[in-house]
Amino acid sequence: MTTQALILCEKHSDQADKIAPALGLKRDGNRYTGHWNGTAITLVWAAGHLLAPEEPATLTPEANWRDPRSLLPLPTVFPHTPTDRGRKYLGNLKQALSQAKEVWLATDPDREGEAIGYEILEYAKYRGSVKRMWLTGSMEAGDIQAAAKRLREGHETITFWRAQQARANADGLWQYLVRAYTAAARAGLMGDDLAKGKGKAGVVSAGRVQSATLGLIVARDRTIEGFVPVDHYQAKITLGGGELTYAPAPPFEGAKGLRLQEEGKPLFLDRDAMQAFAQRLESASTAQILEAETKTTAKHPPLPYSLTALQRDMAKQHGLTASQTLKAADAMRTAGYLTYPRTEHGELPASLFNRRDLLGILGGAAKADDSLMPAARVAGRRHCLEDSNAPRPRCFTDKPMNHHGIIPTTKTPDLSAHSQAEQLVYLACARQFIQALLPPASIEAMKVAASVEVEDVLQRQPALFSGTFKRTIDPGWMSAFGDPKAPKDLPRWSPAPARPSRQYASTSPAQSPRNTTQSTRF
């Protein structure tokens, strides 16, 4: 029997058991079979990675942990061999592939999923046609059927496998580096602590990701250790109801009593000079406004979440680790409530900007939690009424993307049936999506520059001051999930000379750099 199409999934419960009923397939032993849209289909599944790179001891039998020279020459390719788990699955998969005219890869739509699929195809020596079910939506029947109707050509996504091959080869080389580092440490060339124990303690642990991460942490810790706090001083005046800060113009080279920060901002270190400057300001009779420029700008809502942005906010707001956030997002996607979470984009495809999709997503999210309903209604009225002429939100784009921002699906979750992390992640993604559909906030900003006819700490005259003042004219999206701050008036400035109402010098203690944390490392 020749199968017209073989669907290959990377796992059973999370993929095969959801794709099969969506396409009307029935269980037949260790596979699903049936017809969909006139095509005879067999569906089979793997269990994650079924093949692994061969160990250095296999590729280079003479390689050992004592002599780095035994590791040479380094291999240029790292063949894969079946794992113990792989041997349980690969026979069935190879037999199914031998009968297939065409394969639809239905693994996860990322590097890892692409690699799992193509590694199996390569092991089975499959040479037929390959199409891709790009499952970036939820695992609900509608999204699965849409992916099956919009099959992508294999060459459109095979670059993900090539990228994963490069990572796997890099990991293979790291295995040799681990042996080289361990040999050096055991010879006493890497201090008194490394590779001195038994078992894992006798190995120098290193890797493509962990070594780079450790390097960032060590560099930050050394910066903190080498930080020398220096108090610096500043002068301010109050004019027209607004506070202006001493801001001399560059250049600063050769000036005494200051230090330039990396971004070129001067720190004034001479306390006595700053206090004397403040006293001169007290005796000044007038200050002159040099500039008072007002500009109104639009502050657009943030994009829907990418995975990195979601992990950062969950760490900062709720203390969730990156893995906890990803696990929760994966669970809500598998249950059909969120779209694919492993995305580097926050934008959404322009094809989603239509009345039917927006109403479905907003309705599904709004019924999940009462706090979402008011803002969801505003977004719905703005974009889904037949006579609506609101512009397309900036989160929608025409640029091609393999994965879009993480957003709710049309399916409403019973949040009480989910873990706290899953609830937090779902609500965060829902709020971020709804906000993205709301109008921008309108912000009025005023930049002010003034001069006082006294000598400053750099022995320049007049002394220059500046300040920026902002107020929210229309909160727009900013009022969706919190009480907006009451509008405040900007200071009133007159071009005529005026007497400063308050002058003082302040001390600012230098702040040490912060340690690397879950939220700051993203």
Q: What is the CATH number of the domain that holds 15?
A: 3.40.50.140
- Both 262 and 321 in a single domain? no
**CA atoms in the 13 A half-sphere facing the CB of 176:** 24
What is the average pLDDT across 44-66? 90
- Both 153 and 33 in a single domain? yes
168, 201, 216 - which closes a domain: 168
Residue 369's pLDDT band (boundaries 50, 70, 90)? Answer: very high
- Both 292 and 328 in a single domain? no
- Both 275 and 162 in a single domain? no
Helices (H), 187-234: 210-225
- Both 312 and 270 in a single domain? no
Contacts of 144 (CB under 8 A, 6+ apart): 18, 19, 22, 23, 133, 135
User: What is the crossing angle of helices 111-123 and 154-186, to 10°?
Assistant: 90
- Both 404 and 447 in a single domain? no
How far is residue 169 from each of residues 58, 78, 108, 233, measured CA to CA in Å? 15, 6, 21, 54
The answer to whether residue 223 sits within a structural domain is no
Domain encompassing residue 344 = 307-436
- Both 427 and 466 in a single domain? no
What is the average pLDDT across 332-358? 92
42 pLDDT exceeds 90? Answer: yes
> How high is the mean pLDDT of the chain?
90
- Both 117 and 53 in a single domain? yes
- Both 415 and 456 in a single domain? no
153, 168, 183 - which closes a domain: 168
- Both 286 and 432 in a single domain? no
Residue 3's pLDDT band (boundaries 50, 70, 90)? Answer: low
The answer to whether residue 291 sits within a structural domain is yes
Could you give the number of structural domains in the chain?
A: 3
The answer to whether residue 72 sits within a structural domain is yes
- Both 27 and 72 in a single domain? yes
pTM: 0.77
Q: How far apart are CA 292 and CA 491, in angstroms?
A: 10
Q: What is the CATH number of the domain that holds 383?
A: 1.10.290.10
How far is residue 12 from each of residues 42, 47, 261, measured CA to CA in Å? 14, 7, 56
436, 453, 468 - which closes a domain: 436
What is the average pLDDT across 289-300? 93
The answer to whether residue 48 sits within a structural domain is yes
pLDDT at 431: 98
- Both 163 and 23 in a single domain? yes
The answer to whether residue 222 sits within a structural domain is no
The answer to whether residue 521 sits within a structural domain is no
